[in-house]
Amino acid sequence: MPPPGNDYFIDYNPRFPIFATRTAKGLAINRVSDHARLAAIPIRNINLVANYNWDTVTGKFLSIFFKDGTIRIHDIFKDGRLVSFLRIPSTKISKGTWDRIPLESESGNGNLAYNIIDYLPKLIRYVKDSKRINIVPYTPPNSLWRGPDEDEPENNEKLDIHIIFNEGHDKITVFFNGDYAIFVPVGADENERFVKSIVKIQDGFYHCFYDDGTVRTLNLGPLLRSEPSMNILKYIMAIKELIGYLLNHIEFINRELVTPYLEFVNRLCDEAYGYDKLISELECLFLLGEVSCDLEDWLCNSVGEKNFKRWKCLGCEAYQKTTQILTLIFVPACERIIIFVEKLRGILEAFSIQNKFNDSSDLTAVDTLLKNSQELLTITLKSIVDLGKDETLFETFFIWLNDRIHEVLDEDYKLKVQFEDDPYFGYDLLTYFHNISNRGAETSPVLNMKLYRDLINSMSDMEKEIAESNVNSHIQQHILVESRTDVYSKEYPSSQIYVFDAVKLPKHNYILYLIQVTEQKHTQEAPSEGSIEKLYIGTLKDDNLDVISRESSIKIPELFEFYSFSGARFVLKKVPNLIREIELSDGNYDCEHNVEYKEGDDENGEDDGAITIPTYITYNEKSEDFIACTAKISVDGRSASLVFPKGK
């Protein structure tokens, strides 16, 4: 049976008295007490949504999984605006979940291995507004939703995990921190199955319920408990982030500093006069004092005081800001990359010695990345020195050019510089002419952009090769994926099972499930004549998935016998009186229905020895009309039932 085309997206926020529900134009975030709309998330085609999850830590964000392989994270307290767009490579999503796992902070007591990076200056970044280039604190990618939280800045670091089931393939993708994807192959299956529910038991431990009644267990516990393995993951993600940090700033230098300067010089010198001819005549002017009519016209009309100031301003900014960026951005980033690569190499060598994984013992890519990082640092330090010299020559040229322009414009102009005042002035000027003559008009006079791009891109390639050859295989070994097991075969042998939904009850160690069992009729005349479909609700132990509850079939009242359960869903919530109000209401769920929110109520409506959970069913698979039933479970989990509202 294929998954329903219109899963009804209605979920309650785990931290605030609000809920999300589907509308004709997307998703809406409403307040529980009066159903006032707080935010709207427009979605062009709601059928492209696989599912979504609330942020369980802060309750501020909503992560929406789309079937095209994208994940969009929205801030519901800022009008539902999009704060992050994540793309999973080569993936079509059928189901996903978002888990936020707090990581324990490392204590320095008894640990001699201090992290030297913690004592390095904080990273910064350069940005440009409409007027000037500014320095601002560096914020890592995805910091808008990953934190630190503005309300609780002292909270420990979190590991964000998006677990994604790929449509059409029995393959799982684990996406760390919205930036690093690990593909976990789980074996081929002739019969394509759909994941109906991903149930979190504890941090890093999940039961994945398929529509045919089988369950697959996904366990990230070995990874989370292994400090070296977590460090490998942290280091490779940090290296990837820093390489992107360098690429962004080399493009910033090119876009905001080098290109504006080159374009201005090209228009003023090459297009207006001819670059080679201009250099030759400027040299003659310096050595022989001869000024041609064309050069005099160019100095007076093309350059003039306005363009002279603009030329000097662009040139000085290009030299000075580039030097600053290399000093404050490239040097610290290279130092960090070298440290991370050395740390990564140490752990990989240790694992190789212990024969933890033989396929990843080749550290050629690690050595190459370390060599490239050291080379980039060396080139950067040399460029800083060279830029200082080039800036001095540039200023020398403009002191001389300023006198030449004013000399042509004003015969009585008094020169500001005399060669007798500085014996090296003439040598520096000739050196500048020589440099720009060899460089040409199309090459950057500030920085060798091609050299930097090629080196950083090579580092990026090495990082990807390390991830593919060394890191991913190790992480995959620490993610345990069990084969699918048939949970209901003992209770319902020789029957076809279809799972509607499954959910773990908070504060209890069991899972609530809703299934359809199809039994074949057997007679002497016809071995298989027709079938009987029954609905069952029950509970399973969350550790070994053994059935706890007694068999409890659902008797559907005559008023609701034509309703479809294919899109049935349990909805955990923190506002229990809402369930009672829905049960007593005469109509379907109404967005105008007012419910009082009482913060002191027990979670999930535990009342009179029973736990109540709203369960939504639809009129039919294509209809958007739905009703709220109530699943009632005893505290010990041994009995469960589904209660329908009294009126239709």
What residues does each domain of the chain span? 228-477, 487-648
- The stretches of 354-448 forming alpha helices (DSSP H) are 364-409, 425-439
**Distance between the two ends of the chain, CA-based, in angstroms?**
28
Q: What percent of the chain has pLDDT over 90?
A: 38
Give burial (CB, 10 Å; 0-12/13-18/19+) of 229. Answer: buried
Res. 235 pLDDT band, cuts 50 70 90: very high
Give burial (CB, 10 Å; 0-12/13-18/19+) of 230. Answer: middle
pLDDT of residue 308: 87
Residue 588 has pLDDT above 60, yes or no: no
Residues 400 and 148: their CA atoms lie apart, in Å, by 54
Give burial (CB, 10 Å; 0-12/13-18/19+) of 430. Answer: middle
Q: Per residue in 311-324, pLDDT tens?
A: 899 999 999 999 99
Question: What predicted TM-score, i.e. pTM, was given to this entire model?
Answer: 0.85
User: Tell me, what amino acid is at 388?
Assistant: G
Residues 232 and 348: their CA atoms lie apart, in Å, by 8
Residue 566 has pLDDT above 70, yes or no: yes
Q: Per residue in 254-283, pLDDT tens?
A: 999 999 988 888 888 878 788 778 878 887
Return the number of other C-beta atoms located less than 10 Å from residue 1's C-beta: 11
Give burial (CB, 10 Å; 0-12/13-18/19+) of 191. Answer: exposed
Res. 329 pLDDT band, cuts 50 70 90: very high
Residue 288 has pLDDT above 80, yes or no: no
Mean pLDDT across the stretch 110-123?
76
Residues 346 and 235: their CA atoms lie apart, in Å, by 11
| CB proximity list for 35: less than 8 A, separation 6 or greater | 591, 592, 593, 594
pLDDT of residue 592: 37
Residue 120 has pLDDT above 80, yes or no: yes
Q: Supply 385's token pair.
A: 């020195």
DSSP 8-state class, residue 421: G
Q: What percent of the chain has pLDDT over 70?
A: 82
Most confident range, picked from 169-178, 328-337, 582-591: 328-337
